[in-house]
Structure 1
């Protein structure tokens, strides 16, 4: 059974990779949506709690995407305070985007799971779209993707994440669930670059470097210190093999398999993902 079509859903991170897609999917089926971002009206800013009440007014469900990542110090406290305020404002359903295998993200998960509402946690593996819309795009366009090796990762399509999120926000039966969202197979970075090369016609190769070299490269590019630490953590600890095994959780929710990396790469190439270096806000 679905929720009442008049219920209003607040989608946080509405200009980001997942939030924008969640909002589009909900709007496409006639579900009322309020966009949660600094540029929206009313505006929403994670760093300014005075904006939260206006964004939550009249809302019954929230998609929570915290930027830049739940693993950052202090994220759990901010997200927890927001979840408390959301429930006090009458929100009945929360879908939290989390990171698969991120120990620090688990603290935020538990904090949100403790509120008096229907909570679903969406633990996603690395996004395919990180290679086409985000911080890894410049490296792909340069023809050399240099990073610590890590272990194979079942990269997941953000479109699958958005479809799952739209389902859990509008359908019953997902309260209390934790879904680990992955693609159908695991790839190394070298294999991922080969797939992108085959789809796009670009020559993109993977170059293994040490964690120290990776850190030095980020610092030389002027990456903020907190993001340097985050990226090194993701590339070294989170990719240590803990997430290498794919799940069928996308199938469980949607009744169809997760989309494969090869199919995504071909569609992204056709859409011009690697023909220009235009980056999104985040």
Structure 2
């Protein structure tokens, strides 16, 4: 029997509860969730280890949105296990290496674990990195005409909830993607069809894009990582589809049209 099938499901800690995936995982879990972030009622800050213990009290499963520093996760996981956590679900990313330190901390925890490796989020167009440029009418990224199967964050959240609350997902790494690979120009054209507001797509040099992120306050390592991931789209390395959503949920992932219909663009 799964550990979680025999316990009170009001013991699922959701880290990053105000973020794109965390908000949706929290909503899907309802009263089963204990949302935690720097601004939640249950306060959690990766840079303040004294907030970790109280957040973990009575918790059996954790949805882990990792910190920037892998050493913090490596310190958190043993504390979580010692406090009684028996299941960990990590939000990783497509292309994470097999020796990824974040994934290693989860896999070496000694408890049930599941790794989620999603593609880029569709919601980046209206909630995050690309939102302001799209609103202002021009998105400039170093992706060329490369295509990528962006995923709806709600699909990630539904997979996460399944892994957190149902048996059969322990020791699994799920690669998650949307059902179609599109270029940035194609996605922006579809946004324009919905909003009627023109948006120009501009391909820029990777070094110029990284510099623009630094100018917005992103740390060097994050600016370089985001740029590298976009360049992988440019080269065609990120065009392939993944079947994790189908394997876990038994249905096709949401399309870009589905996302647009439920987004702030609608």
Residue in 2 that maps onto 1:279? none
CA distance in 1: counterparts of 2:246 and 2:29, whole angstroms:
20
Separation in 2 of the partners of 1:87 and 1:175? 15
Cα displacement (A) at 1:103: 3.7
CA contact (8 A) 2:150 2:178 kept: yes
What is the deviation of 1:50?
1.1
Please give the alpha-carbon distance, in whole angstroms, between the structure 2 residues aligned to 1:22 and 1:124.
15
SS class of match (1:21) = helix
- Give unpaired runs (5+ residues) of structure 2: none
Partner of 1:38: 38
Give 3-state SS (helix, strand or coil) of 2:115's partner: strand
State the partner residue of 2:5. Answer: 3
Distance 2:203 2:234 in 1: 14
Aligned length: 262
With over 3 angstroms needed to count, the CA separation of the structure-2 counterparts of 1:49 and 1:171, relative to structure 1, is same
SS for the counterpart of 1:119 is strand
Pick one of 107, 111, 119 that aligns with 1:125: 119
Q: How far did 1:211 drift?
A: 0.9
Structure 1 pair 107/61, CA: closer, same or farther in 2 (3 Å)? same
Q: Distance in 1 between matches of 2:197 and 2:178?
A: 23
Partner SS for 1:217: helix
Identify the residue that residue 216 of structure 1 maps to in structure 2. Answer: 211
CA distance 1:85–1:239, shift in 2 (3 Å): farther
Aligned partners of 1:218, 1:38: CA distance in 2, in Å?
24
Match of 1:98 in 2: 92
The SS at the match of 1:99 is coil
Q: Give 1:180-259 correspondences, 5 Å limit.
A: 180-237=175-232, 240-259=235-254
Measure, in 2, the Cα distance between the counterparts of 1:221 and 1:42. Answer: 29
Shift of 1:219: 3.5
Shift of residue 33, structure 1, vs aligned partner: 1.5
Superposition TM-score, scaled by structure 1 size: 0.86
1:164 partner SS? helix
Q: In the aligned structure 1, how far is the partner of 2:5 from the partner of 2:120?
A: 30
Deviation at 1:112, TM superposition (A): 1.1
Change (3 A) 1:104 1:201: farther
1:121, CA displacement in angstroms?
0.3
Tell me the TM-score normalized by structure 2. 0.91
Instruction: Give 1:192 shift.
Output: 1.2
Displacement of 1:222: 4.2
Aligned to 2:58: 58
CA distance in 1, matches of 2:50, 2:232: 35
SS of alignment partner, residue 5 of structure 2: coil
Which runs of 5 or more residues in structure 1 are unaligned? 276-282
Aligned to 1:278: none
Contact 1:101 1:238 in 2 (8 A): no
What is the CA RMSD across the aligned residues, in angstroms?
2.0
SS of aligned partner of 2:110: coil
258-267 or 8-17, which moves further after superposition?
Answer: 258-267
Partners of 2:234 and 2:98 lie apart in 1 by: 15
Q: C-alpha displacement at 1:105, in angstroms?
A: 8.3
For the 8 Å contact 2:177–2:253, the answer to whether it is kept is yes
- Please state whether the residue corresponding to 2:201 is helix, strand or coil: strand
Over 6 Å off, 4+ runs: none
Q: Name the CA shift for 1:261/1:62 in 2 (closer, same or farther; >3 Å).
A: same
CA contact under 8 A between 2:96 and 2:117: conserved in structure 1?
no
